[in-house]
Chain A
């Protein structure tokens, strides 16, 4: 009996203790006082005479929401003197190539553009220094400076014609092209980008078709080579390509696969200045320290940077078309 009493006592204590705890993790707490600083996108490309500067602010209506900052005064200071940029619309389209930046529910799109465009007296020149000066509608001053790098040198170890062979289960022996590159001392990093391809069938361009090339390292991702690598090489292994066309422009949701004999694709190798490199790193992170979220800028977050692009054309040919 005494033992039973003792067991009951122990069980009661254990039950009481167990009852106190179940919720292990503290519930998240809302951060209720976030600032939404002006975000500037201003990247110069060597060889261009047109400069595009996009000024916006993030919002929290959804994951992607941003509103344009209209009414700013924007100047680019180059070797030929200052050039005032003009705000243009509709919306941010001129800066984004027409791709909608914010979902339709963003009222900011209708209120203004946020895209400022200017034409320089001469093209953006490698080896030159450029300045940015923005007076925001709120009176705040944003300034920045960048140095335009020299385009990288890229050579191939083989012909630029890559032959894709097919076996019973698909592509076999993916062709490899090795690209040797070197960059100038002013380029902080290089970015490789495999663009969309152009489809050919019977020797002619397939109208309206675009091709996605399957390549390794992964296609369409950015590769930044560190600041301490003045030269190096990258192997591009091509597994195949898929080409599609939109048969009815009024129905953008419908696409059809098209047959191709060959695909013409361009690998873009961009030399980037320090600000552009930092900006790319900022873009990939979910959180950034505030001071370092401004690349080449003071007074706002974002980027004022420069790139110089070298193009490497490749032709991918199907062995048995």
Chain B
């Protein structure tokens, strides 16, 4: 009915539609703004640069195209009654554009002009290398500059968004959901930042088209690759090197992008070991790669295929196995493949078909030399000792996706509808019963298969030039796990003088949950997750949120403040740990239902003057979980966070960037008492003095760690070299934690021995002062 009404409304006028591209590479420009000022009409291109101006009255109209980093362009279009005009446009890149950190949601945001509800925060690809990272430019670390996104520790890139745990975030790479896209336990994102065009972060109040996780949707959109010539870029860092190449496909109607990265710590240490320079090697390596092909089809249609893989491995050298008595073969990594077909249909309709396959597989085998006998083994006994299989673990998480979206563009309406089918497999096996890592991961076997079907319909309506409304509903059906109806609403009202109000609300659900023990202290060290599905017959967890925001855009200055309320029901969580420091990281079963609430305020001020940009953000967040009648603050909660960053020109073609983060310490469980438990001997019926005093822990997470402070700085400068026909070289130096703040990962209440016998909080450290350097290159 709605569709029919929209069709009737929109059939009368003419239509201008097409794709906005960069004039040099002919790559699509995401989220360009297209305006017909005389008619007060404004639309924004989608993530692949496609736009539609529908229901234009007959006449000659000036269409203005603008995009951040590109010179605006105006084109006169003559259009007749009911005529459809295809207008593909190329915008010229502005060379004076400083490659600072551009977060468009608070800058001159095209999307926010025409999107009803709180807009996504967007970070563009070139900005990712500006944020200092641990030896490598890092996609996820750059996202932590957003006020909605927090990390548990310096060592883990797993996101905590507005009080939600990492399993509630949907990370998409060109539309394919990724499981565990991390390297080195989460220190790095397993995605080459140079392959990224834009990153969109939706921290709440999602539209109905957004996928099925409760906390956030993070879309990593890769570059298409240039259509004019072959380009290359890369970097040589302390830990790894990366290189990517892109260029046109034969025929000029398509492009390719190939990106590869590999660490070489293992190779270097192997060589040093061979030369007898070091006693042990680092038997760890990671690799990741991305191949993307894009090709035009028919009139305005395009097909995109992406392949992504990341691999990590630990394998000991034979000599070390014999010497240490331990042999490990660990292999794990993520894979994803997507195929997407987009096609404009008659000017006002646009269709999209997509299929994706994504998996994370890990195989962990450990052998240890064991000796059985009445006495301790002597060196002579070693040959008779046997290697026992002390860990046999396997994990496989998979999602096969098929979906379609259809969008209709009217004069004041944009109607979208679509569906998505997800076939999930979560298959884990950790054994044997007494395996070597059982203190961290309980032995278990678990296989969950679940297929979900989601459908949505949503309309965005602009009843006046200053008001936009969005309303829709998404339905998630998960078979015997139930069906959840999720209304989604959004509104934006331009108050004038650069001010705008945003309002959004919605309901969200997901069928999976983490098997991690989020309240275990060392869960904050590792980003990898093992997922399971809600059991058949049980309800899926759901979140409801309400977001209210105010934006202001001035000349070179932007301010945004958002307040949110959020509540989650039917969370599946483990009972609180007896001892959070020694609690296992993964526990497969025994979860109970919990309820979570979060509320907060996020404010960002950004100012750009010339080539310099400074920004400041503040986050006030309250998160609380109620479980088994107990209320507690989750371990990842930070009450106050201040994030200041600056990007300043440094001479000609140089750049200085700095980021200062100060935050409240995370909660921990303090020791509040001391007791002595004696040993009871059932033989004599007496209490024997075996064992010493123990500390008694108080209320869970009732105290906070010392506050967090970290200053990172980076300098980089670009040079032109004539090598290989012309190369731009950019050496960089980054220093993490310049102030060497003794930030704390966790506190461990413990008792000191003689002479003090004091009870103390011992602290596990975060990253110390750490300089890193490298060189980027491009041609």
Contacts and interface: CB of A to CB of B under 8 A. Distances in A.
B662 interface: no
B672 interface: yes
A31 B756 CA distance: 12
Contacts of B757: 60-63, 65
Contacts of B675: 36-37, 39, 58, 288, 293, 301-302
A240 B374 contact: yes
Interface string A56-72: 10111111111000000
A34 B673 contact: yes
Interface in A145-204: 170-171, 174, 191, 193, 195
Nearest to B771: A17
B702 to A, nearest CB: 11
B682 A28 contact: no
Interface in A1-41: 14, 17-18, 20-26, 28-31, 33-37, 39, 41
B682 A20 contact: no
Interface in B680-699: 680-689, 691-698
A289 interface: yes
A97 interface: yes
Interface stretch (A79-87, A135-143, A256-264, A277-285): A277-285
A60 B673 CA distance: 11
B670 interface: yes
B267 interface: no
A96 B681 CA distance: 10
Contacts, number: 209
Contacts of B762: 28
A243 interface: no
Q: Interface residues of A: mostly helix, strand, loop or mixed?
A: mixed
A97 B684 contact: yes
Contacts of A21: 737, 739-740, 768-769
Contact of A20 (B669, B758, B769): B769
Given A21-B737, A29-B760, A62-B757, A285 B579 contact: yes
Nearest to A309: B682
Contacts of B581: 287
B413 to A, nearest CB: 57
Given A30-B758, A63-B693, A282 B685 contact: no
A25 B763 contact: yes
Nearest to A280: B680
A125 interface: no
B686 A63 contact: no
Contact of A96 (B375, B687, B760): B687
A314 to B, nearest CB: 14
Nearest to A307: B682
B742 A26 contact: yes
B314 to A, nearest CB: 25
Interface string B740-771: 10101000011111100111111101001101
Contacts of B737: 21
A212 interface: no
A283 B689 contact: no
Most chain B beta carbons < 10 A, residue from A17, A34, A170, A240 = A34
A100 B676 contact: no
A286 B676 contact: no
Contacts of B681: 97, 193
A56 B674 CA distance: 12
Most chain B beta carbons < 10 A, residue from A18, A24, A56 = A24
Interface residues of B, number: 61
B679 interface: yes
A289 B694 CA distance: 10
B700 interface: yes
Interface in B357-416: 374-375
B44 interface: no
A60 B675 CA distance: 10
B745 to A, nearest CB: 10
Given A20-B738, A31-B759, A290-B698, A58 B693 contact: yes
B672 A288 contact: no
Contacts of B696: 35, 37, 287-290, 293, 301
A213 interface: no
Contacts of A66: 676, 693
B735 interface: yes
A292 B578 CA distance: 8
Nearest to A214: B374
Given A52-B685, A97-B684, A31 B670 contact: yes
Given A64-B693, A97-B688, A239-B374, A286 B750 contact: yes
B677 interface: yes
Interface in B39-63: none
Size class of the contact patch on chain A: 35 or more
B374 A41 contact: no
A270 interface: yes
A26 B706 contact: yes
B644 to A, nearest CB: 19
Interface in A299-321: 301-303, 307, 309
B437 interface: no
B671 A31 contact: yes
Contacts of B753: 63
A287 B768 contact: no
Nearest to A94: B686
B739 A35 contact: no
A191 B753 CA distance: 31
Contacts of A209: none
B678 interface: yes
Contacts of B688: 96-97, 99
A101 interface: yes
B754 A52 contact: no
A95 interface: yes
Contacts of A59: 674
Given A31-B761, A97-B684, A287-B749, A60 B674 contact: yes
Contacts of A120: none
A41 B679 CA distance: 9
Contacts of A50: 685
Contact of A282 (B674, B687, B694): B694
Given A24-B768, A26-B765, A282-B694, A17 B760 contact: no
A111 interface: no
Contacts of A56: 676
A54 interface: yes
A171 B375 CA distance: 10
Contacts of A31: 670-671, 749, 758-761
Contact of A25 (B579, B742, B752, B769): B742
A293 B765 CA distance: 29
Contacts of B754: 62
A132 interface: no
Most chain B beta carbons < 10 A, residue from A96, A102, A171 = A96
A68 B669 CA distance: 29
A2 B689 CA distance: 74
B742 A24 contact: yes
B578 A285 contact: yes
Contact of B677 (A22, A36, A302, A307): A302
A77 interface: no
A76 interface: no
Most chain A beta carbons < 10 A, residue from B578, B688, B739 = B578
Most chain A beta carbons < 10 A, residue from B581, B675, B684, B737 = B675
Contacts of A214: 374
8 contacts: A14-B771, A21-B768, A39-B677, A54-B678, A60-B757, A170-B374, A283-B694, A307-B680
Closest CB pairs A-B (n = 7): A21-B740, A21-B769, A97-B686, A28-B760, A26-B742, A63-B692, A283-B677
Interface of B: 374-375, 576, 578-579, 581, 669-689, 691-698, 700, 706, 735, 737-740, 742, 744, 749-754, 757-763, 765, 768-769, 771
Given A37-B696, A307-B680, 8 more contacts: A14-B771, A20-B738, A26-B706, A33-B672, A45-B682, A96-B688, A287-B694, A289-B576
